[in-house]
Amino acid sequence: MTGFFRQQGTLACDGVPLSALASAEGTPLYVYSAATIVERYRAIDAAFASYPHSLHYALKANSTMAIARLLRSLGAGADANSGGEIDVALRAGFLPSQIVFTGVGKTWLELALAIDLGVATINAESEGEIERIDRLATARQTRARIALRVNPDIDAKSHPHISTGLKTNKFGMPMAAAKAICRRFSSAAGVEIVGLHVHVGSQITDLQPLRAAAEAVVRLARELRDEGLVIDHLDLGGGLGVSYDGSPVPGVQEYADALLTAVRESGLHLVLEPGRHIVAPAGVLLSRVIDVKEQPGGKLFVILDAGMTELIRPMMYGAYHAVEPVAPTAAAEITCDVVGPLCETSDTIGKDRRFPRPSVGDLFAIRDTGAYSAVMASNYNRRLMPAEVLVEKGGWSVIRRRQTIDDLLALET
Ligand code: LLP
């Protein structure tokens, strides 16, 4: 077993006590288990082993360079969502041919960058975007490989903020329009339509919408083939959820079975863009108690040195993250609201959690913060970005140093 487990009562990451990490590197601190990332990447890869596939790690989940390099070393490709993520991918050692470029609003500059590099595929979101790609590529006397991102009008049954597959969501082009668009661009000088792309949302814990989306693009691919429009791959995006609260969620094999049942007979190469599933459980946000305050009614406020600036998911999606004392004491349990230090009432990490009565200086671990945590951090209230450490082979390295006020102000007059 890899990851975060108790050793003589104290929470540790792959054998390294979190208390040692906090003493050496300070708090708040993002801590990642390299072994967990390796294990979870390999589990997805193995689940799809019976079918030709490529995994393009969704950098948006966590693109700290060392994490990106680790995924590359395992054989992953990259899914980049901006020019910045393309740059990170290149600097992490991904070849342009290993990068798919997604994103609902790609600028001329970003498209030109992707075309000049010759990325594997640009997942095009609209007819207008394809026109722009065609113009840019034609001017460069090249042909860009694109996949059409279709919107299948499927409810992913995830949080509305991270559901992307309904026709009222801004993503992709209507299924009904895709065929005409394919026909229109089938002999365009600057684009070659090589695939279909669909991504109906994130943190999906019901496989039915994922299967339905796969079936929809398989159907479309067949209809295109019947018209003589041949593509080579289907990109089914990411989206597989994790269990933040311990409730049962589908495993990678069930996920693979659901998708492969839909895709297998098409024979088309399968591309996936997993993010959260690989990295979320591989990280904790380590934080120290700054203050403890009684509330009227007997509960406590436990005020941590981490809040919405380091983890915005609870306030943004009402997301649940488990919070655990690193070294539990023998104190009697009490109900606590775990909050951050920012001047917002919504800066609340967890309500009504039961812990042995915490004291100032205690360490807490906020679980499952390997994805969409550090990448979504901000400097609100002039707070400085935490350091990040990667635990590997019984030791750890600082993979991103703590930001200083000078770093922050270096950009200002
Ligand atoms: N591919 C595309 C086109 C995407 O838009 C996304 C995520 C992924 C792949 C990766 O999905 P994953 O396997 O990680 O579910 N900030 C939110 C999540 C936003 C996800 C955006 N797109 C959160 O904290 O829950």
Q: Which is the closest atom of ligand 1 to the Cα of 280?
A: 14
Residues 144 and 189 occupy one common structural domain: yes
Task: Mark whether 70 and 182 lie in a shared domain.
Answer: yes
Residue 365 belongs to domain with CATH number:
2.40.37.10
pLDDT digits 0-9 by tens, 220-252: 999 999 999 999 999 999 999 999 999 999 999
Residues 92 and 215 in one domain: yes
Mean predicted confidence (pLDDT) in 55-77: 98
For the chain, how big is the Rg over CA atoms in Å? 23
- Same-domain check for residues 118 and 231: yes
User: 104-109: long-range contacts at Cβ-Cβ below 8 A with a sequence spacing of 24 or more?
Assistant: 104/170, 104/171, 107/83, 108/132, 108/136, 109/83
Q: Which of 279, 304, 324 is the last residue of a domain?
A: 279
Residues 275 and 290 in one domain: no
Pick 169 or 26 by higher pLDDT: 26
Phi, psi of 56 (to 5 degrees): -105, 105
The length of the chain, given as a count of residues: 413
Distance (Å) from CA 219 to ligand 1 centroid = 24
Residue after which a domain boundary falls, among 250, 279, 308: 279
Instruction: Show the domain range for 372.
Output: 4-32+280-409
- Same-domain status, 274 and 289: no
Q: What would the two tokens of residue 291 be?
A: 């203050």
pLDDT at position 156 is: 85
Percent of the chain with pLDDT over 70: 100
d(CA 386, ligand 1 centre) in Å: 23
Q: What is the pLDDT of residue 406?
A: 98
**Residue 112: its pLDDT value, please?**
98
Tell whether 10 and 48 lie within a shared domain. no
pLDDT at 173: 95
Task: Please tell me the total count of domains within the chain.
Answer: 2
Spell out the alpha helix ranges (H) of 92-206.
108-117, 127-139, 175-185
- What interhelical angle do 108-117 and 83-91 show, nearest 10? 30
CA distance 122 to 156: 24
Q: Are 165 and 153 in contact (CB under 8 A)?
A: yes
- Determine phi and psi for 10, rounding to 5 degrees: -100, 135
Cβ burial, residue 246 (10 Å; 0-12/13-18/19+): exposed
Identify the pLDDT of residue 303. 98
Task: Give the long-range contacts of residues 97-104, CB within 8 A, separation 24 or more.
Answer: 98/56, 98/72, 99/56, 100/56, 100/147, 100/235, 100/271, 100/273, 102/149, 102/197, 102/199, 102/273, 104/170, 104/171
User: Which pLDDT value is given to residue 158?
Assistant: 86
Task: Judge whether residue 131 has pLDDT over 90.
Answer: yes
Going by alpha carbons, the residue nearest to atom 6 of ligand 1 is 238
Looking at ligand 1, which residue's alpha carbon is closest to its atom 22?
A: 202
| 110 and 169 co-located in one domain | yes
Span from the CA of 8 to the centroid of ligand 1 (angstroms): 37
Handedness of CA 220, 221, 223, 227 (dihedral sign): positive
Give me the CATH number covering residue 210. Answer: 3.20.20.10
pLDDT at 384: 98
> For residue 123, which atom of ligand 1 is closest to its CA?
3
Which ligand 1 atom lies nearest to the CA of residue 159? 25
Q: How confident is the model at residue 393 (pLDDT cuts 50, 70, 90)?
A: very high
The residue assigned the tokens 């990642």 is 32
Residues annotated catalytic, as ranges: 343
| DSSP-assigned beta bridge partners for residue 271 | 54, 235
Do 304 and 272 share a structural domain? Answer: no
Q: How far apart are CA 235 and CA 195, in angstroms?
A: 7
For residue 166, the model assigns a pLDDT of 87
pLDDT at 139 over 90: yes
Residue with tokens 């024979």: 267
Task: Return d(Cα 30, Cα 32) in angstroms, integer.
Answer: 7
Q: 197 and 123 in contact (C-beta within 8 Å)?
A: yes
Check whether residue 297 and residue 368 sit in a common domain: yes
Pocket of ligand 1 (CB under 6 A): 58, 60-61, 79, 102, 162, 199, 202-203, 237-240, 273-277, 313, 317, 372
| Predicted local distance difference test score (pLDDT) of residue 187 | 93
Q: Indicate the residue among 249, 279, 309 that finishes a domain.
A: 279
Helix 127-139 with 108-117: angle, nearest 10 deg? 50
Q: Are 32 and 370 in contact (CB under 8 A)?
A: yes
Atom index in ligand 1 nearest the CA of residue 276 equals 14
Instruction: Tell me the C-alpha distance between 192 and 138, whole Å.
Output: 11
Average pLDDT, the chain: 97
pLDDT of residue 141: 98
Distance 102 CA to ligand 1 centre (A): 11
| Ligand 1 mutation target, pool 158, 276, 279, most atoms within 8 A of CB | 276
Mean pLDDT lowest among 38-52, 163-177, 276-290, 382-396: 163-177
Locate the DSSP E strands across 236-312.
Answer: 269-272, 283-294, 300-304
Assess whether 44 and 184 both reside in one domain. Answer: yes
pLDDT in tens, 314-364: 999 999 999 999 998 999 999 999 999 999 999 999 999 999 999 999 999
Determine the pLDDT at residue 235.
98
Indicate which residue's Cα is closest to atom 20 of ligand 1.
202
**Which tens digits make up the pLDDT trace of 156-213?**
888 888 878 888 889 999 999 999 999 999 999 999 999 999 999 999 999 999 999 9
What is the DSSP annotation of 125-152? -SHHHHHHHHHHHHHTT--EEEEEEEE-
Q: What is the pLDDT of residue 340?
A: 98
Give nearest CA residue, ligand 1 atom 19: 162
Q: How far is the CA of 233 from the centre of ligand 1 (A)?
A: 20
Pocket test for ligand 1, best of 55, 59, 60, 171 (most atoms within 8 A of CB): 60
Q: Output the CA 380–ligand 1 centroid distance in Å.
A: 23
Q: Which residue is closest in CA terms to ligand 1's atom 23?
A: 372
pLDDT at 96: 98
Q: Which atom of ligand 1 is nearest to the CA of 102?
A: 3
Shared-domain flag, residues 14 and 80: no
* Dihedral of the alpha carbons of 311, 386, 371, 70, in degrees to the nearest 10: 180
In the chain, % of residues over pLDDT 90: 95
Mean pLDDT, rounded, for 49-62: 98
